[in-house]
Chain A
Amino acid sequence: MNVAIIGIGLHRFGRSPNMSGMQQGASAVRAALADAGLSWADMQFAYGGSQDGGNADALVNELGLTGLQFTNIWNGCATGGSSLHAAYSSIKSGEYDVGVVVGFDKHPRGAFNPRPKEWGLDEWYGETGLMLTTQFFALKTQRYMHDHGITEDALIRVSEKAFTNGSLTPTAWRQQALSYEEIANSAMVSDPLRKYMFCSPAEGGAALIICNADKAHQYCSNPLFLKAAAVRTRHYGSFEVFAPSQAMEVADAPTVTASKAAFEQAGIGPEDVDVMQLQDTDSGTEIMHMAENGFCEHGEQEKLLLEGATGIHGRLPINTDGGCLANGEPVGASGLRQVYEVCVQLRGEGGARQVPNEPKVGYTHVYGAPGISGVNIITK
């Protein structure tokens, strides 16, 4: 059984002061249904997730009490990847033919403030100021730069590319391109990462209509195919967020194992991918994720970024809509925004940010606390 994506919808990321997180989720579902030419009553199942926007299954109050199976998914920043994986499995198993995946959120301003107990940690860890995602990404980036000869130039170029792409994306939150100097001179937040190298918690919604591929042409003329969906957690020794200690022997990140599993499922390799979305919580993580997902060797990123290889017209177009850096991160929706953007690119509907030469294979990667990765491969 193959799986198709027949509808995509986005409620613009950023701030929607007059709408609840739930309403933004409903808005994304309505957009995806309209895109597929279907109605809510046609949906046989739904998977949804949100961190601060409420229980996803309460969306039925907005969309209609049709009695469908609606399962809430929560996997930190990787919630979108996990929701899509659940939908993929529901179609693969043959249980259902068509359903929806939705994510939404509405975070207050500023960094996230996680509760230690929810992550299996004691209060002292949070009280003493060790439990910040920004800190972890800085610590991991710092060590990575040391081990692989990455310089600040590469960090700046990732942000420069993100905001350039954001300026070409009508739905992006940050639509203003920033110069190399503006990024290089922005305030240091957590060494080596500066203000314009971090994404911000935000608001927004994203939804996808997923369908049995054998029936996809009944609904639409341009289905895309979800060739792989893999979610993996951390192994002993991988260096992850919210870890009071770290083993001496560093193991592969969950991104490495999720990526390998997805490529195996799809029967293709990194060299076959035309357009990709890699989790860019900050510019350091995008650099690390390039190698962890198999798109380059560790250390090669410096040269690739200098050459502009990850830009829209480069050979590895990464985060064509500006990624998390330009869109912000409403946790529940973020992973599905990545899939939305890859679908836009494969359909050739990217406008000013369209990757040239009709991309045929897309890739998305989401990463979340406390060490979980979700990878999807989508083809024409």
Chain B
Amino acid sequence: MSNQVPLHEGLFTWPAAKPQLLGSRCNQCAEATFPAQPDCRSCGSRQTTIVELGDRGILWTWTIQTFMPKQPYRSDETPETFRPYGVGYVEMPGGVRVEARLQANSPDQLQIGMPMQLDIIPFRTDKNGNQKMTFSFSAAQGV
């Protein structure tokens, strides 16, 4: 069994029983952003706090990536194995819309306003055989 490691530190709590997306909130104007950043793009303050943005949200807009992107895209796929993927912005309870890959990849599976849930999924394997994990959303279960 290979190790699973986050593709990038600080994007989500993981491993965790219920992983959460991480962002930052401005101590001054309370605007949230993803990923977390030390300064606030709304008011320019340098005082922000890392916060959990949640693990469920509402789909605000979506599309489907039908062709395999060129670099900087870096997956294990080849043009032959490439599988189209959904992309959307998901409105999070933390007060920000986050752009993410969606596991659904057909228009009939996606609708603006549908409830979504966060999944932490393997994205690619690095040269040491570690699985790089990223965040993604799928239709919420059990709502």
Contact = CB atoms under 8 A, between A and B. Distances in A.
Contact of A124 (B11, B61, B87): B11
Contacts of B99: 130, 139, 243-246
Interface in B72-124: 72-75, 85, 87-89, 91, 95-101, 107, 112, 123-124
Contacts of A243: 99
Contacts, number: 120
Given A111-B70, A139-B63, A191-B64, A236 B42 contact: yes
B54 interface: no
A187 B8 CA distance: 34
Contacts of B97: 245-248
Question: 5 nearest interchain CB pairs?
Answer: A126-B72, A138-B63, A143-B61, A245-B34, A124-B8
Contacts of B60: 143, 246
Interface string B1-39: 000000110010000000000010000000111110000
A245 B66 contact: no
Interface in A119-167: 122-124, 126-132, 135, 138-140, 142-143, 146
B92 to A, nearest CB: 9
A146 B61 contact: yes
Interface of A: 110-111, 113-116, 122-124, 126-132, 135, 138-140, 142-143, 146, 187-193, 236-237, 243-248
A221 to B, nearest CB: 49
Contact of A127 (B35, B41, B42, B74): B74
Contact of B96 (A127, A139, A188, A247): A247
B129 interface: no
A378 to B, nearest CB: 35
Interface of B: 7-8, 11, 23, 31-35, 41-42, 60-67, 69-75, 85, 87-89, 91, 95-101, 107, 112, 123-124, 134
A236 to B, nearest CB: 5
A371 to B, nearest CB: 12
Contacts of B100: 130
A114 B72 contact: yes
A140 B70 CA distance: 22
17 contacts: A114-B72, A122-B8, A124-B11, A124-B134, A127-B74, A128-B7, A128-B75, A129-B87, A142-B63, A142-B112, A143-B112, A146-B61, A191-B62, A191-B64, A237-B42, A244-B35, A246-B89
Contact of B123 (A128, A135, A187, A190): A128
A135 B87 contact: yes
A142 B62 contact: yes
Contacts of B67: 111, 189
Contacts of A246: 60, 89, 96-97, 99
Given A245-B96, A246-B89, A188 B66 contact: yes
Contacts of A236: 31, 41-42
A131 B99 CA distance: 10
Given A142-B112, A191-B107, A243-B99, A135 B63 contact: yes
Contacts of A138: 63
A301 B80 CA distance: 40
B69 A132 contact: yes
A299 B80 CA distance: 41
Nearest to B7: A124
B61 A139 contact: yes
Given A127-B73, A128-B123, A244 B63 contact: no
A113 B68 CA distance: 12
Query: Which among A126, A237, A243, A247 has the greatest number of chain B C-beta atoms within 10 A?
Result: A247
Contacts of B72: 113-116, 123, 126-127, 131
A192 B91 CA distance: 20
Contacts of A113: 69-72
